Structure formats: C-alpha cells, structure tokens
Structure 1
C-alpha cells in the first residue's frame, strides 16, 4: 500500500472525513477506546465509511508512524454520481454497457476487472460502499492505470443501483451458475448492465431476485468455477462480439 494513499492518526482522519476526502476504508485497532475514538466512529457512521477492527500489528505494518490506533486509506480517484453518469451516457445516444460488482473484495481482482472493462468500452463500473475492494496501490497497478480512465460509482446498495438502471431502460444480467442460459443464449446487444458476484458467494440471492436475466459460462472441466476477473472478461467480450 502506498504511503501517499494513507492518513494516520485519529484527529487527522476525522478532519479528512469532514473535508470530504475520498476515504476507502479505515482500520481501527482492536479494543481501541477514548473520546477521540468515539468522535471518529461518529464521523465514519455519518459519512458511511467502511471500517474494520484489526490487531495493532496490522496498523504497524501499514505505517511506521504514530497511528494512534487508526489508519485510513484514501482513494487515488474521485467517484462519480451514478444517476448523473447514466443520464450523460444515455444522452450520448449509444447503447450503454455498465458493470456492477457485487462486493468483490480482492483489490487485484478488482484491478484486473477494471482493465478489461476499460478495454471493452464499459461506460461505468458500479460498486457498493461497504464490502467492496478498495481502490489502492494494488488496484491501480493491476488495472495498468485503467482505473483513471473509466468512471467508477459508489452506491449505498447494489439493489438501488439496479432499480435505477432498470428505470432508465437498461437491462440487468447477472452472472450466475443458477440458470440454464449460457452467455451465448442471452442478448447483450442492447443497453445492458452485467452483474458479477463476490469471489466466495457469487451474486447475492436478493440481487438475483430482481435482475432481468441470468447467464452462465459453460464449464467442461472438473473445477466448477473461474476466477471472477476471468469470468468477467468472458462476459464482457461476448457483449463486444454481439455489438460488433
């Protein structure tokens, strides 16, 4: 993790939150207490910032400085407003292609997906504020810099993003093995948003209930699944093939 993407110290993190900095996550020392820590917890709750409790050894590894029991990671990018982005893309007259990542947590998978999304002309990537991989040094490196070239939107809930897209005539297609339809039986040529699930659980069942269609990749080997970034690439390039 690159030092310029970090803030350490409780008061410094509070001030960063209040100034509107793009904070991805805050790491809090287990069993930390005190009035200043309470103020930090209140500030994170108001700003809906993702945080986790970690042992002091984790914080010491993140920074050699006096962290006071708290280290924050700052995103190197600015995030887009989803509603504004959708309106802009639709006004351009082209059939949009969006990508929704349902709590993908590995930064390198995230970076690899961003790189493929940029190469395939995705108009925007949508992630959830909580539970998603941070945009950190690993993400930037794995994306080969593509993270700076594609709009990324953070939303409170994935389901709200899906409802917004559907209301704007954008079909939502979830990648899941819980369907009989392969990607070759599904129409990606219209305005669509592809939904990829987390590495361990896939697309959330509550999300699967509200999507327009489901699709899977045909599998012929003994291993029953692909790495999510590889699977995402297969979905996106099928969309490219149908649109070409």
Structure 2
C-alpha cells in the first residue's frame, strides 16, 4: 500500500522497484525471511538506494497498516538522467549553469538551495544517489515548490558527473576555503557547474583534484564559514551579476 510519500508491504515495494519509482530509502525489518522476502532481496542486490535494517518498532511508526517488514520512502519528484539534463541544457539560449551537491545532508538546506537555484536560472541540480538529503515534505516546503520546476538528476558518484560535464567543455568550480581565489576572480558568464559540499566536511578531496577552479567567498568577520545554503546563494548571485 501507499501513504503520502511511503510505500509499505513487500509486494508493493517490489512493484515500485520494477516500475522505476524513485525510492529514497528502504527500511527493512531485521531478521526478515520468507519466500516473498527472498524475491525482494534479489531486487535489493541491484538497488542503488539506501537500505536500513531496523527493528519492527521503527516500521510500526512509519506505516499505518501491515508493512510485512518493509517500508520505502519514495520521492515526490521524478528525476532526470544526466544525458537528458545535457539535452535540456543544449536547448537553452543562455550558457548552462549546473549545481552539483556533494554530500549535502540537511533537507532544509537542500530545499533552500533549490529555491535559490530556481530564482537564479540554474539549468539543473545534480546529486548523488547515496548519502544525500532526500526530497521529502520538508524539502518541498522549504523550496517553496521550486523542486517541481527545476530538473534534478541523481548519479552514482558526483565525480563521474564532473568528468561527464567536462567533456561538454563545462568548467567546474568547487566552493571551498582551500584556495586563495574568491568567486569574484573567476569568469562565470561561460558554461559552468558550481559544486557545493557537505555541511561539515565541504567538497571531497577527490572532487577538488578534478575541478577546473576552486573558489571561496571573501570573509570579513571572525566566523570562518557560512551556512551552505547561504554560501550557495551568494555564489549563484555572483553568477547572475556577471551574466547580467
């Protein structure tokens, strides 16, 4: 069965996986067994979404009916593929502007970033399939509905997306404090992708090594960093300023 953004029951979850529904996270009861679960397990071995094995009490709180030991959180939006996103960008009359989120985990930060991105004319947002904030009711609310207006793409790894975008001559810029260059020093009126990192760790080192530029925001106060959604907004509006 399905309620709001959750599906529960083994057969319902199997059908959701087979039909290509965007599953954000799957909760499975610890020690679950049986022939129907074995069928589900065959699908899980090929799955890219996050699976959590939890006690039955957790599942009882998540569902309103007979969950049979399985509850799935599904996305309220449909994701686009990376190739589809590139096709969308090529139809634009302005230079593409992509936003890549490397391990962002807070749903409200995610929603605020989506809202700002839509206001700034971002072509599309790219997120990893695992280890990222889900699109749930809080994300939708914080985005003020912008989540339904902006293409969002999920990829196996952000680093793969970096390399893919670079084959299209798109310059990738990582927001990081590990540089002397500010965002104002970089030419932003060309096809670019902005990479924002995890709230605590920032952009991962493997991605920092692969990007074309690293940039930071000038800081005049005593606090060393900004909230990631605020920093993202400041960077995106510098892009807007240069392009106007």
Quickly name the TM-score band, shorter chain normalised. Answer: over 0.9
**How far, CA to CA, are the matches of 1:35 and 1:106 in structure 2?**
37
The separation in 1 between residues aligned to 2:55 and 2:226, in whole angstroms, is 33
Offset from partner CA, 1:166-206 (integer Å, 9 cap, x none): 11011000011111111111221111000001112111111
Cα separation, 2, equivalents of 1:158 and 1:30: 31
- Cα separation, 1, equivalents of 2:172 and 2:23: 29
- The count of residues paired between Structure 1 and Structure 2 equals 243
Question: Residue 101 of structure 1 aligns with which residue?
Answer: 101
Q: Does 1:47 align with 2:47?
A: yes
Task: Return 5+ residue gaps in structure 2 as ranges.
Answer: none
Counterpart in the other structure of 1:139: 139
1:189 equivalenced with 2:189 (yes/no) = yes
Residues 216, 32 of structure 1: alpha-carbon distance in 2 compared, 3 angstrom cutoff: farther
Shift of 1:107: 1.3
Q: Cα 1:42–1:218, aligned 2, differ >3 Å: closer, same or farther?
A: farther
Looking at structure 1, the residues matched to 113 and 170 of structure 2 have their Cα atoms a distance apart, in angstroms, of 21
Query: 1: CA distance between counterparts of 2:200 and 2:32?
Result: 30
Change (3 A) 1:215 1:19: same
Cα offset for 1:122?
Answer: 0.2
- Give the Å deviation of 1:35: 4.1
Of stretches 51-60 and 208-217 in structure 1, the one that deviates more from structure 2 is 51-60
Using the size of structure 1 for normalisation, the TM-score is 0.93
Distance 1:31-1:201 versus aligned 2 partners, 3 A rule: farther
TM-score (norm: length of structure 2): 0.93
Report the CA distance shift for 1:30/1:223 in structure 2 as closer, same or farther (over 3 A).
farther
| Aligned-pair CA distance for 1:102 | 0.7
Unaligned 5+ residue runs, structure 1? Answer: none
Alpha-carbon distance, 1:218 to partner: 2.0
Q: Greater CA deviation, 56-65 or 155-164?
A: 56-65
Moved over 4 A (4+): none
